[in-house]
Chain A
Amino acid sequence: AQSVSQHNHHVILSEAASLELGCNYSYGGTVNLFWYVQYPGQHLQLLLKYFSGDPLVKGIKGFEAEFIKSKFSFNLRKPSVQWSDTAEYFCAVNALNTGFQKLVFGTGTRLLVSP
């Protein structure tokens, strides 16, 4: 069964600092990869997704992620965080062996950006 690991459970940064959140998955076949964000009191929103093609994907609000197939990783980056980026970030994966129907989430990373 596929699994998703997010090793940073809590991250605290100051505004303008750079961000990188790690995500690793276990499945060796074809996968789709996602980063979702959950702002306090709000619903899950898609930040970015990777299906195929250029492994460097750009999302909303200045976020980007790089798919490195050999490392089974899909790390999220932002060059300069803002206070409004305070949220919980989830990496998620679905795989060809389930017809891409079963979306599996990582445990999440809580990001706190201090002004």
Chain B
Amino acid sequence: DTEVTQTPKHLVMGMTNKKSLKCEQHMGHRAMYWYKQKAKKPPELMFVYSYEKLSINESVPSRFSPECPNSSLLNLHLHALQPEDSALYLCASSQGSGSYEQYFGPGTRLTVT
């Protein structure tokens, strides 16, 4: 099973809402990632978790808060987002954080109104 699942598929939220995105993998991978992909643009790295510890934060605004409760699960908590945060949020995982390929989930399409 090489599947990364993400929920929800679509999310519409207001600028004062708090919501969370969820990502799950059951491949035994120890590194997990959040990316943001705007329309017609490549994915851009936001966060990297390695062995459940945050190892990279690409200067992401604090209104995005990642959490890795266990090695299979990755959350992205959203609060007070701006309309420009509307994008496809992708989760990925890899066996480790070294020379391994990343497996991507289908993404959550987020619209901030």
Contact-residue size bin, chain B (C-beta under 8 Å from the other chain): 20 to 34
Q: Count the A-B residue pairs with Cβ separation under 8 angstroms: how many?
A: 52
Binary flags per residue of A33-68, CB closer than 8 Å to B gives 1, else 0: 010100000111110010100000000000000000
Q: Are A102 and B45 in contact (CB under 8 A)?
A: yes
Q: Which of B79-113 contact A (CB under 8 A)?
A: 90, 92, 97-107
Q: Are B104 and A102 in contact (CB under 8 A)?
A: no
Chain B, residue nearest A46 (CB): B101
Binds A, one of B11-19, B21-29, B48-56, B61-69: B48-56
Q: Are B99 and A106 in contact (CB under 8 A)?
A: no
Chain B residues with CB under 8 Å of A105's CB are 42-44
In the complex, A81→B7 CA distance in Å?
Answer: 34
Interface residue from A32, A45, A49, A102 paired with B56 (Cβ < 8 Å): A102
Q: Are B99 and A100 in contact (CB under 8 A)?
A: yes
Query: Within the complex, what minimum Cβ distance (angstroms) separates B46 from chain A?
Result: 11
Name the residue among A102, A104, A107 with the largest chain B CB count within 10 angstroms.
A102
Contact-residue size bin, chain A (C-beta under 8 Å from the other chain): 20 to 34
Query: Within the complex, what minimum Cβ distance (angstroms) separates B49 from chain A?
Result: 10
25 of the cross-chain contacts (CB-CB < 8 Å) are A32-B99, A34-B101, A42-B106, A43-B90, A44-B43, A44-B92, A46-B101, A46-B102, A46-B103, A49-B101, A90-B42, A90-B43, A99-B55, A100-B99, A100-B100, A101-B56, A102-B45, A102-B58, A103-B102, A105-B42, A106-B42, A107-B41, A108-B40, A108-B41, A108-B42
Residues of A within 8 A of B (CB): 32, 34, 36, 42-46, 49, 51, 90, 98-108
